[in-house]
Structure 1
């Protein structure tokens, strides 16, 4: 089609994404103050009181384990990491003796002990659940009446690794019976079971889980008033910090004018900050969250550029320019690409300066840049498949899907602001795509495919994992969905195994990899909540980032 000026007009695809649902909302928090003097004193006093509770609870007791569990679920365990590690280390050394004390009616104790230790990185044997199995090799039917035991076993089984059939069976047994019991339960237990079936502890964004659990705990008649008040105060103090960070990020985004200049791209800066918050929420990672959010913004822009808006010729130029990583390379690009390319390089330059000021090693930035290059090569491969109308094999799709999931880049970038633990050796390790990271990438890639498949087929997008599987195996859509879910399950086992000690790098560095996977589970549970954030995600973000908990 020829335009008025005689130049060829380009027909571009556009996904018609809805505008930001937040507007300037978070700019209103520019002058928000942190905790006042009274709150700080109250917070310190209550923290001391909770620490005392933790130390004073009888050693090697169910009471001690349940207190650790409650502290973790209330989102305040980061204040007591040393104490919790020490206590669980003691349970680990005497695990067999401890478990041996309990019989067939103590499913809750055995499952809770197992989960807390696996969660902490200790490998303990799942043989402990053998006492709950009947002669036919199934879980004993009388366990179906023990709701607390079922729920604890269900949560424990989410931490399974390969060759743990006893836990595979536990998932089926507990899921079936919890669903059957659910209509007969009353609140708050009914809501707790319902939420767990959708988002087990190992699959939920920590901050979302915390906000919901505070509500459950308040309804528990045996709750500790001091612990509840401490959790509420801590949540609200952190929320104010997060509001302030999001205000700064929103201002940066608006001043960049990227959203106005690139109307085809999703305007989701708040949702991307929320993504970063899912990776780490504690105060010490404030700078890390801002860096990760800014890089996420460019992942999203580039995704929309390669996926729908850019022509193959333009994308070839952009991929070459990214490989050069030089401001002069932008001269070859069309104006809209020139803007995003220069803004991307600027963000990395600013990140380097920020890390220099913090005394961190700026060498880290090049690892993130290398992953960004890898990501855009993967996006370019998808674009080539689309334009050639090629449907790759499942193996080709997964191989490319590992970088195109964005998680190689995001995991590496999440370490930039993480302090001394992120050494050069650690960055060398993660740049070699270890199993735990590959598993996270595959899970994220395929979870996205499960919820976007139908829309992308309608839109005529590049083939997803669903189509690749159907095409290669002559399978139905339902068969492909089942197979994709199996692949996700296998990779969760790899991920769980990778979090167990001994680990090649400190576990503090593995937590962002695990938490990124939890974010993907959350965002892609029933729909693409990132793209369609005006639906359910808006309310969740309000709950975590806007509405304080009433005292």
Structure 2
């Protein structure tokens, strides 16, 4: 915590006697941009950072239309939309290379190295994408489950957000498969399955046994076996290094997610609107961070201790914060578009008021959640930063996907298509 509080003290140097930021600061636009980015690292109770964020945002917004270099204008415009702290790492790197290239002071050798490195890793990702696409097509879900979303490329995009480095090849493949499977299952629960079918599927998941598929309808049987196969891959890789507990944690969190899906469906069919507390309790499972994090860690090929897995599933502040960001951003963006209960209905029933008031309250909670993430990244000692970064990257992905009032996963032909083009199709020009 010392570093953050010291940072807040540093910001006091830029404030005058009236507790306003000094006018002299406005002579340095690049400095104001740096102030804006740094202010996003604040935690609860740091008023100087809150004031710095408000001041820098207003100033940069007013300056964006004035005469300045193309490079700086682009950098400011991108930052106002998504600051570095909330940026999908790989996309941020690609965009910054373009901005840096237009800076007269750039280091040509360093820039060339960065471009070559990006293109090298892109080739690795292209090969992985070919592999998971072949796996997906072999499942033939398009024929067996025609109502389900075909999002395997977008799912790989999600996996790369968690870890893009070459050494995590197997983890990216597995996480892509896990996300693809849960997308299909989500559609089964939200779109197609009857209550009786969903009850059978939920019970089969709880048993986690290939023989349980015999009791399922044909369309569910194929999906059920495919899901168990993915986790069998993780189990096989764990056995190579002589451990078995990681995949057990991953399975339990998948079970929890499916059971939570069933709870949500029962609410919808019974026309029941839960309290916000009840809804968010179920959302801890349906939100995805814990399920994705346990699957990620179980497939990383490194030894994560039982104590560290126990921390992940214990509902720590770091995970709760990512759940809040994910669930509330998803529910506000998708309000009125999905056939299920959302946080918006729960809030309005419990507190009265309008949709707009619910949105405003959720925005406050999301801002607080980002500060909680900052606090955990700074002071959490129970687990290494490697684990905290997985949760942070999930929050960054959610911010990109559901930011600016658009669901880029549900409607993947919008900005997600452009992101995929930048990361997996177009190499950087060297």
Q: Are residue 548 (structure 1) and residue 430 (structure 2) matched?
A: no
- Deviation of 1:159 after TM superposition, in Å, equals 1.1
2:108 counterpart of 1:225? yes
Matches within 5 A, 1:259-278: 259-278=142-161
Could you say if the C-alpha distance between residues 397 and 544 of structure 1 is closer, same or farther in structure 2, counting changes exceeding 3 Å? same
Deviation of 1:272 (Å): 0.5
Could you tell me which runs of 5 or more consecutive residues in structure 2 were left unpaired when the two chains were aligned: none
Report the TM-score when normalising by structure 2. 0.96
Instruction: Give the secondary structure class of the aligned counterpart of 2:70.
Output: coil
Structure 1 contact 422–509 (Cα < 8 Å) conserved: no
Partner of 2:36: 154
Is the CA contact (8 Å cut-off) linking 1:299 and 1:406 kept in structure 2? no
Q: Are 1:538 and 2:417 matched, yes or no?
A: yes
Q: How does 1:186-201 map to 2 (within 5 A)?
A: 186-201=69-84
Is 2:407 aligned against 1:528?
Answer: yes
| Residue 333 of structure 2 is aligned to residue 451 of structure 1 | yes
Deviates further, 274-283 or 498-507 = 498-507
Report the CA distance between 1:316 and its aligned residue: 1.1
Distance 1:434-1:153 versus aligned 2 partners, 3 A rule: same
Number of matched residues? 428
1:421/1:506 contact within 8 Å kept = no
Match of 1:493 among 371, 375, 388: 371
SS state of the match for residue 334, structure 2?
A: helix
Match of 1:376 in 2: 258
In structure 1, the gaps of 5 or more residues are 1-91, 96-116
Q: CA deviation at 1:502?
A: 5.1
* TM-superposed deviation, 1:143: 2.3
Partner of 1:350: 233
Equivalent pair of 1:453/1:464 in contact (CA under 8 Å): yes
Pair 1:178–1:319, CA change in 2 (3 A): same
Match of 2:285 in 1: 403
Provide TM-score, normalisation by structure 1: 0.75
Contact 1:188 1:216 in 2 (8 A): yes
Task: Report if aligned partners of 2:64, 2:77 keep a CA contact under 8 Å in 1.
Answer: yes
Q: Report how far residue 152 of structure 1 moved.
A: 0.8
| Residue 163 (structure 2) aligns with | 280
**Aligned 8 A contact 2:322 2:391 in 1:** yes
Q: How many angstroms does 1:360 deviate by?
A: 6.0
Query: Which structure 2 residues correspond to residues 74-473 of structure 1 after superposition, within 5 A?
Result: 124-184=6-66, 185-357=68-240, 359=241, 361-456=243-338, 461-473=339-351
Residue 146 of structure 1: CA displacement? 2.3
Secondary structure, aligned partner of 1:194: helix
Question: 2-side partners of 1:463 and 1:174: how far apart?
Answer: 38
CA 1:469–1:145 in structure 2 vs 1: closer, same or farther (change >3 Å)? Answer: farther
The answer as to whether partners of 2:39 and 2:50 remain within 8 angstroms in 1 is yes
Q: CA deviation at 1:493?
A: 1.2
Distance 1:481 1:239, change over 3 A: same
Per-residue CA distance 1:59-82 (angstroms, 9 max, x = gap): xxxxxxxxxxxxxxxxxxxxxxxx
Given that 1:205 and 1:522 are in contact with CA atoms closer than 8 Å, whether structure 2 keeps it comes out as yes
Question: Which structure has the bigger radius of gyration?
Answer: 1
Local SS of the residue matching 1:188: helix
Larger helix percent: 2
8 Å Cα contact 1:421/1:509 also seen in 2: no
> Deviations along 1:349-368, whole A, 9 cap, x unmatched?
122113333x2623210101
In the TM superposition, what is the alpha-carbon distance from 1:421 to its structure 2 partner? 4.8
Partners of 1:264 and 1:309 within 8 A in 2: yes
| Bigger mean CA offset, 442-451 vs 266-275 | 442-451
C-alpha displacement of 1:462: 1.7
| Kept after mapping to 2: 8 A contact 1:278/1:519 | yes
